[in-house]
Structure 1
Amino acid sequence: MFRSVFKALLLIVALVAAVYYGVAWYHSTSLGPGQASDDWEENDFLDLGKLEGLDSVLMNRQGIDPNNYTALMHADQGSLVLPRDIFLALKTVDGGQAFTDPANMLRYRYLPGRQTEANPDGLPIGFSRSQKLWQGEEFVGLTCSACHSGMLTYKGTGLYIIGAPTQADFQTMTEELGAALAATLQDPARLSEMAAALNTDPAKLRPRLEREDALLQARLQINASPLRYGYGRVDAVGQIYNQATSVNLGLPQNATPPVAPVSYPHIWGTGQADVAQWTGFAPNDIIGSILLRNVGEVIGVFGRVDVDPGKEAFPSSVNIEELGDLEDWVNRMEPPAWPEDIFGAIDRDVAAEGEALYNRHCKGCHKRADPYEDYKATLVSPDELGVDPLAARATLATAQTLDGSKKPKLKMLIEQTFQVVLDHPGEMVEAIIEGAVLDKFGKRGGFTYKARTLNGIWATPPYLHNGSVPTLYDLLSPPEERPKTFTLGGWEFDPERVGLAPHDGADGFIFDTSLPGNRNTGHDSRIFGTTFTPDQRLALIEYLKTF
């Protein structure tokens, strides 16, 4: 019996590995090194009429099959924000408009989506309609594109870039979502109005709203942070840890304010390195590790897990099949090429000067890897880099377990993702956790940051892990010359300095680099080995446009 269960378990793990690694093998052996596309074309999925000041929004296929492109933006990974009917009927706190109204969602910088076969409700980009019922209900949730799709604009033309960091303000969106839900419960007239819209009785609707309100308020409470993230940042690891080790386990003492926000990383090339995440704690080359990483991500974005310590496996809302499709698409994703027709032609002579500087001062950490080319990432201590250390330090947090002992939060998270994925005897879970996979998590990363490849780096402002530098020119400048404050909230691009142009909108967020978690120091002459002159900075930037 023992051997048969063990063999079955190994077969499951092998099948999981085949799904996640087969695509990478296929691309590396059959498709060659890949080629970033410079073909920018009109999109058919954004509601352009809701994007004021733009004449058009172009997109780049970036290696994604046209038949899958829109599906990627609305794929159901198992995130459950709210029941679909409640989410669509919910109004803002002041009751003036639907919460999903594009004008409201644009306040948080979520892009308006058109009604399509993949998006029948016309939800914003990155929001999904659940494929399966959870406890008898259909939900709306978040998918990869909510965090990993970006917009850049220049002189009335927008560029939609799949896989780039979003400018969305997740923190404010979830807070105002909770406030809107609470306001509906507290106001009998609003409750009756929603009930009428849903063709139900207020007495039947109230318990559903109370259940969702309790879950959402608990989430907001444990993730309350004294540091405002602003646009384009979130402490994803901190919120995942809080959900997995506090909410799901019923241990409120494990909650820690998530005060180490990071910029949303671009996701093209994610599977090329041996490790993922800003701090490099998640291995890519261990059987099942990518799936576990993705399950953990779903837990952090409103995935639901029924943790029962007496059971060997935990029911959850996680959509394993769709996670496989999403990983397939990510593996196919290529970096976008610099759009010379829009931002201006690359000066190849100046770029050649920049290449020499890059090879001398940058190449040792930042490898230039072709699409589908594997590489071993360089991991560097924040102390050596001189950058803000909070995100790296937070990865190493510990918490209390159900039996009262202490464990690393990372280990507790991976244990939980195992029990979500696999239905098998508990002793087999423990054997695998302690051996083949879990011990590899955090072995390379930890109190480090990963030096990622710079492919498509032009499309990923702001820079540094915490988004504390608006342009590449500022990043290549001495720290004392970098902006001490700047305003986020705009999409306008600066093609010369390469990054975000100054934003003067009334709803802008002032990024203060003096605050812990926001520091923009480091990554300077101690790493480069020199202080670049203004002309050298521009030459390096010209070369980076070619990536």
Structure 2
Amino acid sequence: MYFGFKISNAIDSIKYALTPPELPEYQSLKMQYVNANGYKDEPSDWFHHASQGTATIPIPYAWLVALEAPKSNPWWLFFGEEELLIGEYMLRHGFIEQPASHSNPDGLPIGIAKTESIYFAGLNRKATAAGFTCAACHTGQLIYADKRYIIDGAPASTDLGLFTRSLGAALGQTVLSGKVNILNGRFDRFARRVLGSNDNIVTRNQLKDDLNETIEILAKSSDTIEVTEGFTRLDALNRIGNQVFNKDMSRPANYSPINAPVNYPHIWTTSWF
């Protein structure tokens, strides 16, 4: 009976990891940028996507733009194609839509940038990363009437905790798809997007190995959440401190649980903004 209980718990844990959180629907509205500082379009676009050397999203950039959004029910992951994760699905986490441009060729939401040559332990090599910029936390949005107003320097509305769970579910469903040869459509589409003209059996097997290793590493380094952050709030002090003093320095004793979320601050009164 105890053995059966452990199996049941294991199945429940796997199902939880593969199941994305419930998200609010996204309202597709006309957008208007409020640039009180007199930004022209080009400098504002640059600010939204200029790399600051971060790899906040713990997978290569090529994976991020190739992942499909997770199925709401993991039992259906082998059937049908979903929209890309970086599309409207990502906006449901509070991110702000932005069209493709020279600074943002893949049309990622505001505050996400490419960073070249970042080492990924799961790959055991360097790759282009995706990371948050200052704009991710300090660009706000509000809806009035039938418009969505975008305000540089205002507090963000994102829920990083929900996005972390959604990303984990998308990765997990992709990995699981790759283990079932007959019903591997999700992994097949992912591999074709990532590998492009270099898509062959050798590179696919390497991609599977990289995915598996990355999942294992991420599972071991998941955060301890004592207080749910929610939309518009983030425990930035502990999250940044954990990255610098725990992960980067390889000192587990320096880890602090996520327990002090606060509202994203506005920065429009800072002299250097």
**TM-score if structure 1 supplies the norm length?**
0.38
In the TM superposition, residue 98 of structure 1 has moved relative to its aligned partner by 1.4
Quote the offset at 1:158 in angstroms: 2.6
- Deviation digits for residues 343-372 of structure 1 (CA, Å, limit 9, x no counterpart): xxxxxxxxxxxxxxxxxxxxxxxxxxxxxx
Q: Which residue of 2 aligns with 1:192?
A: 188
Shift of 1:72: 0.3
Counterpart pick for 1:179 among 169, 193, 196: 169
Q: Name structure 1 gaps, 5 residues minimum.
A: 1-49, 273-330, 334-547
Letter in 1 for 2:149: L
**Which SS does the other structure have where 2:127 is aligned?**
coil
Is the Cα contact below 8 Å between 2:26 and 2:92 reproduced in 1?
Answer: no
1:167 deviation in Å? 0.6
Alignment match of 2:95 (pick from 110, 128, 134): 110
Equivalent of 2:130 in 140, 145, 157: 140
From the superposition, tell whether residues 133 and 167 of structure 1 become closer, same or farther in structure 2 (CA, over 3 Å). same
Cα 1:267–1:210 shift into 2, 3 Å: farther
Trace 1:334-413 onto structure 2 (pairs within 5 A): none
* CA deviation after TM superposition for structure 1 residue 104, in Å: 0.5
Rounded to whole Å, the distance in 1 between the matches of 2:138 and 2:209 is: 35
Correspondence for 1:162 among 146, 152, 156: 152
Matched with 2:84 is 98
The equivalent residue for 1:153 is: 143
Matches within 5 A, 1:395-434: none
Whether 2:204 is the aligned partner of 1:202: answer: yes
> In the TM superposition, what whole-angstrom CA distance separates every residue of 1:133-172 from its partner, at most 9, and x where no partner exists?
2244222221111111001121123321001001111111
Deviation of residue 254 (structure 1)?
Answer: 2.8
Contact 1:53 1:156 in 2 (8 A): no
Task: Tell me which structure has the larger Cα radius of gyration.
Answer: 1
Q: CA deviation at 1:61?
A: 4.3
State the Cα RMSD in Å. 2.3
In 2 relative to 1, CA 159–197 (structure 1 residues): closer, same or farther, beyond 3 Å? closer
Runs of at least 4 residues off by over 4 Å: none
User: Gaps spanning 5+ residues in structure 2: where?
Assistant: 1-24, 72-76, 120-125, 179-183
Question: What is the CA distance between 1:60 and its match in structure 2?
Answer: 1.7
Partners of 2:220 and 2:269 in 1: CA distance:
35
Structure 1: which amino acid aligns with 2:63? Answer: I
Q: Secondary structure at the match of 2:155?
A: coil
CA contact 1:152–1:160 (8 Å) conserved in 2 = yes
* Amino acid paired to 2:194: L
Q: Is the 8 A contact 1:191 1:202 kept in 2?
A: no
Give, in angstroms, the shift of residue 192 of structure 1: 3.4
Contact 1:75 1:128 in 2 (8 A): yes
| Matched length | 220
Call closer, same or farther: CA 1:133–1:245 in 2, change over 3 Å. closer
Corresponding residue number in structure 1 for 2:54 = 79
SS of match in other structure, 1:225: coil
* 8 Å Cα contact 2:30-2:147 kept in structure 1: yes
Alignment correspondent of 1:52: 27
Is the alpha carbon distance of 1:66 and 1:195 closer, same or farther for their aligned partners in structure 2, counting shifts above 3 Å? closer
Deviation at 1:76, TM superposition (A): 0.6
C-alpha contact 1:178 1:217 (8 A) present in aligned 2: no
CA distance in 1, matches of 2:39, 2:193: 39
Q: Confirm or deny: 8 A CA contact 2:246 2:253 kept in the other structure.
A: yes
Partner in structure 1 of residue 236 of structure 2: 236
Q: State the 1:92 CA deviation.
A: 2.2
Q: Percent identity?
A: 30
**Measured at CA, do residues 53 and 187 of structure 1 come closer, stay the same or move farther in structure 2, by a change above 3 Å?**
closer
TM-score normalised according to structure 2 size: 0.73
Q: Which amino acid aligns with 1:205?
A: L
SS of 1:86's partner is helix
